């Protein structure tokens, strides 16, 4: 099977990991990087507001040319917001089938969620592509139902995953232990859904806390906790794995914007042999035995209570971590298992 993957190709756990797993299963994979079209200032604007313009025209023209030369069996649109219906119709006329995947929530507007302003424009072409695609996959069940109501065909659930060659228990050096060691870590983005309160509470409780991921974790957001946590940087690839392995506990916060009940971290943290401490929800409770394979909380007070309990009981902590690791492997939350399911669904 020949598959052309169209996406940003910016982060190792997304298109690149999926492509490697596809190739392991015998597929022939080619890539088309949309991110190269959005590096200039005007391009970055189009990336968030993809309605019309020379950047968009150039991207679609080049994509069509490459697909014409490669003649793949399938084009996989990975969270693609910039491929226009005319391009998809030409794929179809050439006998190329189309499949989409989105790990984010493209239906925030219709669900009346509070979304950033640019989301009023971001998903315009993506939502139209659902109606022209032969298969559509989403990371959350609610999106599957919303896509069906929109008129999409062949909708399927494909949750996020961990990447075995990236996310695993590793032995850190003394220098790495000094750099990454802490009681609890959160490596994730900021959004205004109250998650900063969890971080502030952990810091004010006197715990050793590390926070990673981006410029939006500012002093305005974190208040007094910022001075303790800075510098707050981004960790990716093996450095992200080391950050998880360096912590005794790892926090998994659900994005309100994305209406998350499961995220990449929910697979990656247990896969690294660490205890996941996540916001309690029915999905996670159905996947992990509470306080045996993962730990959950529903308030600041319960978070602190769980953290102190786990820190005071290293044997229990190690047992939960080991059981969580077994669970994500036995339930097939790795990228290779996701790809097997994906390929079966394309038959």
Bridge-based pairing of strands 97-102 and 2-7 is: unpaired
pLDDT in tens, 239-257: 999 999 999 999 999 999 8
From residue 291, alpha-carbon distances to 285, 295, 307, 309 in Å are: 10, 5, 12, 11
241 and 285 belong to one structural domain: yes
182 and 322 belong to one structural domain: yes
Number of domain units in the chain: 2
127 and 183 belong to one structural domain: no
Element (H, E) at 99: strand 97-102
190 and 154 belong to one structural domain: no
39 and 66 belong to one structural domain: yes
| In a domain? residue 69 | yes
78 and 210 belong to one structural domain: no
Gap between the Cα atoms of 56 and 87, Å rounded: 11
| Domain CATH for 71 | 3.40.50.2000
| In a domain? residue 166 | no
| In a domain? residue 7 | yes
Contacts of 112 (CB under 8 A, 6+ apart): none
| In a domain? residue 339 | no
pLDDT in tens, 164-198: 999 999 999 999 999 999 999 999 999 999 999 99
| In a domain? residue 341 | no
288 and 178 belong to one structural domain: yes
207 and 82 belong to one structural domain: no
| In a domain? residue 344 | no
CB contact at 8 A, 64 and 96: no
Contacts of 274 (CB under 8 A, 6+ apart): 244, 245, 247, 248, 249, 250, 321, 324
| In a domain? residue 134 | yes
Q: What is the pLDDT along the chain (347 residues), one digit of tens a residue?
A: 999 999 999 999 999 999 999 999 999 999 999 999 888 776 777 788 887 778 889 999 999 999 999 999 999 999 999 999 999 999 999 999 999 999 999 998 776 667 777 777 889 999 999 999 999 999 999 999 999 999 998 999 999 999 999 999 999 999 999 999 999 999 999 999 999 999 999 999 999 999 998 789 999 999 999 999 999 999 999 999 999 999 999 999 999 989 999 999 999 999 999 999 999 999 999 999 999 999 999 999 999 999 999 999 999 999 999 999 999 999 999 999 999 999 999 98
42 and 183 belong to one structural domain: no
Gap between the Cα atoms of 1 and 342, Å rounded: 13
pLDDT in tens, 79-111: 999 999 999 999 999 999 999 999 999 998 776
| In a domain? residue 336 | no
Q: Which domain holds residue 304?
A: 174-330
101 and 147 belong to one structural domain: yes
110 and 17 belong to one structural domain: yes
| Sign of the dihedral through C-alpha 250, 12, 236, 44 | negative
206 and 301 belong to one structural domain: yes
């Amino acid at each position: 099977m020949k598959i052309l993957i169209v996406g940003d190709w910016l982060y190792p756990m997304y298109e690149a990991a999926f492509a490697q797993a596809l190739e392991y299963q015998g597929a022939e994979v080619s890539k088309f990087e949309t991110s190269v079209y959005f590096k200039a200032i005007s391009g970055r604007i189009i990336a968030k507001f993809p309605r019309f313009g020379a950047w968009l025209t150039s991207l679609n023209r080049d994509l069509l040319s490459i697909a014409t030369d490669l003649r793949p069996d399938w084009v996989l649109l990975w969270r693609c917001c910039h491929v226009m219906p005319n391009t998809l119709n030409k794929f179809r006329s050439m006998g190329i089938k189309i499949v989409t995947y989105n790990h984010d929530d493209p239906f925030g507007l219709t669900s009346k969620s509070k979304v950033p302003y640019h989301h009023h424009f971001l998903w315009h072409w993506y939502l139209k592509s659902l109606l022209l695609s032969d298969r559509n996959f989403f990371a959350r069940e609610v999106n599957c139902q919303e896509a069906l109501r929109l008129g999409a065909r062949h909708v399927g659930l494909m949750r996020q995953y961990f990447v075995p060659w990236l996310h695993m228990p590793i032995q850190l050096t003394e220098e790495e232990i000094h750099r990454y060691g802490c009681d609890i870590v959160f490596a994730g983005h900021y959004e205004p859904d109250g998650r900063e309160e969890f971080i502030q509470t952990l810091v004010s409780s006197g715990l050793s806390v590390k926070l990673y991921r981006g410029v939006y974790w500012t002093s305005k957001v974190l208040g007094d906790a910022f001075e303790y946590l800075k510098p707050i940087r981004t960790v990716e690839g093996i450095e992200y794995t080391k950050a998880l392995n360096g912590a005794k506990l790892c926090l998994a916060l659900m994005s309100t914007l994305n209406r998350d009940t499961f995220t990449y971290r929910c697979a990656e943290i247990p896969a690294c042999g660490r205890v996941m401490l996540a916001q309690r929800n029915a999905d996670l409770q159905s996947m992990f035995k509470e306080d045996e394979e993962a730990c959950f909380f529903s308030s600041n007070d319960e978070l602190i209570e769980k953290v102190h309990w786990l820190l005071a009981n290293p044997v229990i902590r190690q047992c939960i971590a080991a059981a969580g690791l077994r669970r994500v492997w036995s339930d097939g939350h790795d990228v290779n298992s996701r790809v097997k399911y994906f390929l079966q669904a394309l038959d």
